Structure 1
Amino acid sequence: MTSSSDLEQIESRIVSLVKDFAFLHADDSVASSCRPIADMVAKQAVTSSEGGKRLRALLTLDSFRAFASEDVRERDFDALLDLACAVEVFQTGALVHDDIIDDSDLRRGKPSAHRAFSTGTHSEAIGHGLGIMLGDMLATASVDIADKAAPKLTHGSDVVAALLNMHREVEVGQVLDLAVELNPLDDPDELVEASLNVFRWKTASYTTIAPLEFGMLAAGIGKDDARKQALAVGLPLGLAFQLADDLLDVVGSSSNTGKPVGGDIREGKRTVLLADAINAANDTQRRELIDMWEADSRSETQVKRAIELFEQTGAIERSRGRIADLWNESKTAIETLSLSEYHESLLIEACSRFVPSIHVQTRA
């Protein structure tokens, strides 16, 4: 099956699953005066769930295909598809919460959920509150979807346990992501270490490690081996993905990302890119960067200047090097899994979607 065919099934199935969970059921007793707000939240649940590259769901499916026997692939595909969708529904809930924390106006080129709620209710406070509840609702929906799919899958109880562990790791990661914002800027090496640690917990855990683990478990691999192999492949891949995403924030375009370029700079986020720039800067450049990030806000002129400094100090090139090294580590781990040539190629192709620029360079 092609990824385009997979994407069509993923999109339609997510909409169906989210609608079933988010909209009020016939026997739900809700006061008529409150029903319009409940309907607004349900509609936004669907809107927020639409679009995206679906990398996590695709990796879940391809991990399953790489490791499962033909009869298991045919028998369990529908349940596995729902599990893949559960990861995407969780991702949407995490993004809704992220946008509140980061005070973001846009998501996937549309108003972020809490902004849409604030407009719809004419209240910023209620809009933020509804956004928090929508994120919670989608996180719960992901567990419900996986729980219903698990009994139809091999190692179903281990699948549910892995999903719950994924939830926990992302929640820990979100705490660490906020904690790293308190890191001083005069020790860039420590900032790199702390930021990469956040990437492991907040991003890699559910972006690459869990999808690989779900596919392996559903294919019949035992939980200990599935966890070990998923970490070996997924951890460096997840770090590379987040580094690439941070890099795209300064070298990409709004039309491609759906978000304003330089968003991390405006927010004053402490990133690996910033740490590498401070590390390589001369005294004047270092002072300029630290002063910018220690200020309460950054102007558009300062955003452009920061990007210039990232380029001048070699931080952008350093980030590309980090991404390439991590991708090679992930690819090497795949090559140790004793897969057939076809299935090894399938898994490498699936993982390469997370680092497309490196993939292009590798294949050129």
Structure 2
Amino acid sequence: MDTLVTMNSAPRSAPAPVADIESRIAALVAQLVTATDLGNGTCSQVLGSVREQAITSSAGGKRLRASLALAAFNAGRLAQKAPEGTVDHEVSWAGAADEMLDIACAIEVFQTAALVHDDIIDDSDLRRGKPSAHRALSTLTHSAAIGRGLRLMIGDILATGSIDIVRNACASMPQKQAQSLLAAFTNMQREVSIGQILDLAIELSPLTDPQELTTASLNVFRWKTASYTTIAPIELGLIASGRDAASARAMALSIGEPLGIAFQLADDVLDVVGYSANTGKPVGGDIREGKRAVLLADTLQALPEQDRNDVIAMYESDSRSDDDVRHGIALMKSTGAVERSYERINQLWHETGRAIDSIDLDDEGKHILREVCRKFVSIAIPQGA
């Protein structure tokens, strides 16, 4: 596995391919959902079904978070200078390729845990183009309550298990580095939990002040999305490469905060302009759920008073019909709200680029980071930007 991040292979410092990340995640998740001496009765059968659903729920996706963590690790390693009289691959470095791959996979396992809980909160039917796990388990057990409970347990096992994956990966590292990695990982989980609280709280916000809604929504994007999507992957990769925790955190925030917010903006745009087959979610799902976010705020800001009141009434009703969803999508496009999101994404991308340019890495390391970061906002930035 060392060839995945080796310093003297060609191409130099290539990231782990998605297939390797995917297979490792499946193996790690299978190990998490195990128990012995259960016999062959109902309990054993249900646990086996839950294990399979955990693996299924963990499968798929672009693995951007793991790729970014590995890119940050590679970029950090390239910044290490070889002592005089040695060659590049003889430079000592903290951690190993297998260990960093597991840390990267742990981020993805935690993401699955977050999505599991999200789907329960939102009562979502689809995830990555397949029935969400609580739906699948409800069907399997013929009980909505049991299916929901089992799904909640999957999320809990994956969330706590992701910490064990990191702890095991750190076992052979120096104590200070291992402590820094575990601290960064658990802080990521805490920030996501705060973000989820803010995401629920924003649903209680009045819609009469679009500017306040924009500010609150961007805060949700920072805490709920950027914290584990872009900030933590960069931070963990840099710490594993040998960077001290403080400088790794500072670099991760400068790059990851604008990038993570831009990523969530792009994801919300896809909900309006995308296709279910590509996104794995129904188009207009955010409107159907009545999600309060930047797209809605920009739409309300641009509407005349009567139309604005009509949209507010639609969002404050108990549910939204197919016609409501189509009308909401049309308004977000016609008012320029979608274009405004593209503008925000581009501004944030340029902020990310400036942060990459300013950090203490060599040119190749910066190039590695930039190319992976670009994938997070590729739908909204022009090629070569």
With normalisation by structure 2, the TM-score equals 0.90
**1:4 to partner: Cα distance:** 8.1
2:94–2:240 CA contact under 8 A, matched in 1? no
Question: Which residue is equivalent to 1:122?
Answer: 142
Question: Which residue is equivalent to 2:212?
Answer: 190
Amino acid at match of 1:140: T
2:166–2:182 CA contact under 8 A, matched in 1? yes
Question: Which residue is equivalent to 1:46?
Answer: 55
CA distance in 2, matches of 1:247, 1:30: 49
- C-alpha change, 1:138 and 1:213, in structure 2 (3 Å) is same
Identity among equivalent positions (%) equals 54
**1:357 to partner: Cα distance:** 2.2
**Structure 2 residue 57 is matched with structure 1 residue 7:** no
Gaps spanning 5+ residues in structure 1: where?
none
Amino acid at match of 1:54: R
**1:8 to partner: Cα distance:** 1.5
Which one of the candidate residues 90, 95, 99 is aligned to 2:119? 99
- Which secondary structure state, in structure 2, belongs to the residue aligned with residue 233 of structure 1? helix
Amino acid at match of 1:112: S
Question: Which residue is equivalent to 2:131?
Answer: 111
Which is worse superposed, 86-95 or 6-15? 6-15
Which is worse superposed, 138-147 or 338-347? 338-347
Question: Which residue is equivalent to 2:301?
Answer: 279
CA distance in 2, matches of 1:142, 1:236: 26
1:159–1:217 CA contact under 8 A, matched in 2? yes
CA distance in 1, matches of 2:45, 2:269: 41
**1:287 to partner: Cα distance:** 1.7
RMSD over aligned Cα, in angstroms? 1.7
2:94–2:241 CA contact under 8 A, matched in 1? no
Question: Which residue is equivalent to 1:336?
Answer: 358
**Structure 2 residue 158 is matched with structure 1 residue 138:** yes
1:57–1:85 CA contact under 8 A, matched in 2? yes
CA distance in 1, matches of 2:232, 2:29: 21
Question: Which residue is equivalent to 2:384?
Answer: 363
Which is worse superposed, 68-77 or 55-64? 68-77
CA distance in 2, matches of 1:30, 1:159: 38
Question: Which residue is equivalent to 2:85?
Answer: none
After superposition, what is the alpha-carbon deviation per residue over 1:325-363, rounded to whole angstroms, capped at 9, x for unaligned? 01110110000013222211111001111001244x041
Which one of the candidate residues 81, 99, 103 is aligned to 2:101? 81
With normalisation by structure 1, the TM-score equals 0.95
Which is worse superposed, 32-41 or 192-201? 32-41
Runs of 4+ in 1 over 6 A off after TM superposition: none
**1:291 to partner: Cα distance:** 1.4
CA distance in 1, matches of 2:97, 2:51: 28
Which is worse superposed, 246-255 or 281-290? 281-290
**1:31 to partner: Cα distance:** 7.9
CA distance in 2, matches of 1:18, 1:338: 36
- C-alpha change, 1:258 and 1:350, in structure 2 (3 Å) is same
**1:29 to partner: Cα distance:** 4.8
- C-alpha change, 1:72 and 1:134, in structure 2 (3 Å) is farther
**Structure 2 residue 70 is matched with structure 1 residue 61:** yes
CA distance in 1, matches of 2:92, 2:102: 16
CA distance in 2, matches of 1:100, 1:44: 15
**1:292 to partner: Cα distance:** 1.0
Question: Which residue is equivalent to 1:20?
Answer: 31
